[in-house]
A and B are shown apart, each in its own frame.
Chain A
Amino acid sequence: MFLALRELLVGRARFGLVAAVVGLIALMATLLSGLAVGLVDDGISGIRRLPVTDIAFQDGADAVFSRSTLNDANLDPWTESGLEVSPLGVTFLNARTDTSGTIDIALFGVPADSFLAPDDQARQALSGHAGIVLSDSFEAEGIKVGDELTIVGVDEVLPVLGFTFTGSYGHVDIAFSSLDTWQQLQYGDNAKGRFSAIAINTDDTSGFAALDEEAGTDTMSKQAAYEGSPGYSGETQTMTLIRVFLLAISSLVVGAFFVIWTVQRTQQIGLLKSIGASNFYVIRDAVGQLAIILVIATAAGALVGTGVGQLVGGAIPFRLEASAVLTTAASLIVLGLLGSIVALRRIVDVEPIIALKTDT
Chain B
Amino acid sequence: MTLHLHNVSLAYPDGDDTRTILDNVNLDIAPGETVVVAGQSGSGKSTLLAIAGLLLAPDTGDVTIADKPATGLSNKDATTIRREHVGIIYQASNLFPALTATEQLELVAHINGNLDSEQRNRARELLCEVGLEHRLDARPAQLSGGERQRIGVARALMNQPELLLADEPTASLDSERGNQLMKLLLDQADARGTATLIVTHTLDQLPESVRRLCLQDGHLHEASSPSELASTVDR
Contact = CB atoms under 8 A, between A and B. Distances in A.
Contacts of B106: 2
Contacts of A3: 96, 98-99, 107
A112 interface: no
Main secondary structure of the interface of B (DSSP, over half): mixed
A244 interface: no
Interface stretch (A60-68, A205-213, A270-278): A270-278
Contacts of A276: 79-80, 82-84, 86, 108, 111-112, 159
Main secondary structure of the interface of A (DSSP, over half): helix
Nearest to B115: A2
B76 interface: yes
Interface string B151-183: 000010001000000010000000000000000
Interface in B92-133: 92-99, 103, 106-108, 110-112, 115
Contacts of B203: none
> Chain A CB within 10 Å — which of B83, B159, B167 has the most?
B83
B149 to A, nearest CB: 11
Contacts of B143: none
B58 interface: no
A326 interface: no
A353 B55 contact: yes
Interface string A346-360: 000001110111111
B197 interface: no
A11 interface: yes
Interface in A2-49: 2-3, 6-7, 9-11
Interface stretch (B3-11, B34-42, B45-53): B45-53
B93 A359 contact: yes
Given A2-B115, A3-B96, A360-B96, A275 B167 contact: no
B71 interface: no
B98 A274 contact: no
B65 interface: no
A271 B79 CA distance: 12
B99 A360 contact: no
Contacts of A281: 111
Nearest to A359: B92
> Chain B CB within 10 Å — which of A2, A356, A358, A359 has the most?
A356
A268 interface: yes
B70 interface: no
Nearest to A351: B55
Contacts of B111: 272, 275-277, 281
29 contacts: A2-B107, A2-B115, A7-B98, A10-B97, A10-B98, A267-B94, A268-B96, A271-B94, A272-B111, A274-B53, A274-B55, A274-B88, A275-B83, A275-B88, A275-B108, A276-B79, A276-B83, A276-B159, A278-B76, A278-B79, A352-B55, A353-B50, A353-B56, A355-B90, A356-B46, A356-B49, A357-B46, A359-B90, A360-B96
Interface of A: 2-3, 6-7, 9-11, 267-268, 271-279, 281, 351-353, 355-360
